[in-house]
Amino acid sequence: MLYLAEVQKQRSGFGLGGGKAELKLLACQRGEHNWIAVPGDDVIPVEEANKFNDGTLVLVELSASKQVQRIQEAARQLVSILQNFSRLQDKFKDKEEEIEQWKASLTFSSQELNRREMEMQAREEQLAHMVDELERLEAQRSEIENTRDEAHRLREEVDRSRAEMEMAWEQLRGEQQRVEQQQSQVQQGAVVDEKQARRIQELMNKLSGAIASAQGVREQLNQSFGVVGAQQAILDLHWQQLEQQRANAQQQQAEVDRQLPHIQHRWEEWYQAVDAVTQAKVESKGLQSTLSAKEEQFQLFSAQVRALEALTRQVSGMAQGFGPVATEQQVDVQALEKMSIDELQGLVQNLQQDLEKVFRFVNDQEEELTLQQQTIEELQAKIQAANEYDRMEMSNEMADELESYQMLNETLVGQRLRLQERESILKQHQAVLWKRLGTANPASREGQIDLGPVIAQLESQRQQQQQDLQKLEQEIQQLRQAIAQNDGNVNRKTGELEGQRQEIKQLEQNLFNQKSAVAELWGRVNVYQEMLQPVQDNLSGLRQKLEAVGGELDRLEQTGEQQDQTISQLQQVISGLISG
């Protein structure tokens, strides 16, 4: 099982060689991203921890019996864990924003459903009104059908009357021929008997009755024309309403056609503005990434300046003859002088081996720090030559590298001091050993070292780094001002765009409502026309039939008048024949 632990060392009074390393377990991993704190002070002795400094955080893998299986420094892993935690926080924030957007979308959908439900109720009411209108038109059509049936009946009656008149006329012509024959006979001295006279009188009465029945047909025909005229007046009123609705529909359709290009133009302008704001946001993110990289670089330079100042003070102290660098622990020289020569030599040998081990570890860390510095410089060169989108991704990578570099550099600052401390302790032990062996200190034979050029070079580097740090601070301040100004413009423009979007959406909604109203109005116009046109066609056909019947009746009446004159003449002739 993997644990996060802190290295704790218990030191003896004779230096580092007799120290005992322990691990204080701080947290235990329960899942990929799940760590829990270890309760209490759980401390286990671990020999492998001697290569780490006191207080170093390490990751140690322990078996069920608390045996160490693997141990390594936790700096880089902690950086990775913190980065993963930051990314998870960003993902959770994005999810929360997405949930809020869904809530807003659901609220809008609910409002839209309520509005559509109200529209459906209004359309149901209009449909009920149209059904009532259809029923009324159906009643009018039934009435027209009845009138048409009556016209058919009148036409049949007229045809029947005309047939009867034609038959009576044929009989009358026959009688007229016989009368003419009798007249010729009368002129020759013949007379009409009583029986023939009655027969002729019956035929003339029958012919007069047929003419009289045609007058009744004329009255019924006039009544039918009156009914058709009343129905046409009602239909004309409906046709006027239909034309008014058609004109209204055309006017609203023209308004919809006029608004559609305007709204499309507004959307095009809005999308162009959104692209501009998006580009500004991308630039702002690029500036923010650059700022983060600059801030990380500032912290790194600050740590380097502090480390260089500490190193300069140490070298200055050594140059002033204060001997070895002051350590946290002082060596007990009297105890060393009382130890046996062999024991003292063994202790010095152990200190040398421990110093070599720490030196190799620090040297490896120094090489890794150099490689990270080279990676950072390469990334800086790539960022300067990259475009905005690639620069953002590289800036995030740059921030991670700077963070790792800073943590490793801060760790190395303490490790360098520890290395100097151990070197100083070793030199003190060696001095006591050489003194007891009666051998001169090899270092003293080398003479004094002039540290002036080194101090001057360190001071020059410190001043140069201080200037770079001030320049970097100015750049950071300028970036912050640029980001603040850009963010202010973006926020202001975003608010304006949101207002414009709501306004355009409202215009679109109004246009949609107008389209629905126009479509509904055109639907009513078409249905209204579909209902009126068959009624109008039937009524027009009925009028044509009645007019045809009227024409036939006019011709029949003209024939009747001629027949009346003929009958009168025949009656006079017959009266003369009878009296003769």
Q: Could you read off the pLDDT of 173-190 as tens digits, one per residue?
A: 666 676 566 556 545 544
Name residue, tokens 């991993």.
29
pTM: 0.38
408-431 tens-digit pLDDT: 777 777 777 777 788 888 888 888
453-501 tens-digit pLDDT: 666 776 777 788 778 888 888 888 898 898 889 888 989 988 898 898 8
37: left (phi over 0), alpha (psi -120 to 50) or beta: beta
The better pLDDT of the pair 562, 472 is held by 472
pLDDT bucket at 322, cuts 50 / 70 / 90:
very low
180-194: string of b/e by CB count within 10 Å (b at 16+)?
eebbeebeeeeebee
Rounded to an integer, the average pLDDT of 203-220 is 62
Residue 19 is predicted with a pLDDT of: 58
272-310 tens-digit pLDDT: 988 888 888 888 888 887 888 788 778 777 777 776 676
**197/177 Cα distance (integer angstroms):** 14
- Does residue 323 have a pLDDT over 50? no
Smallest CA-to-CA distance from 72 within 54, 53, 59 is with 59
Name residue, tokens 């979308």.
105
Q: Which amino acid is at 260?
A: L
What's the half-sphere exposure (Cβ side, CA atoms, 13 Å) at 201?
Answer: 11
Residue 321 is predicted with a pLDDT of: 43
Residue 311 is predicted with a pLDDT of: 66
14-24 tens-digit pLDDT: 444 445 788 88
438: left (phi over 0), alpha (psi -120 to 50) or beta: left
Dihedral (CA of 25, 29, 33, 37) sign: negative
- Does residue 543 have a pLDDT over 50? yes
Residue 341 is predicted with a pLDDT of: 84
The better pLDDT of the pair 318, 268 is held by 268
Lowest-confidence segment of 98-102, 164-168, 432-436, 495-499 by average pLDDT: 164-168
Which long-range contacts link 535-538 to residues 24+ away (Cβ below 8 Å)?
535/137, 535/140, 535/141, 535/144, 535/235, 536/235, 536/239, 538/141, 538/144, 538/145, 538/148
Rounded to an integer, the average pLDDT of 533-560 is 77
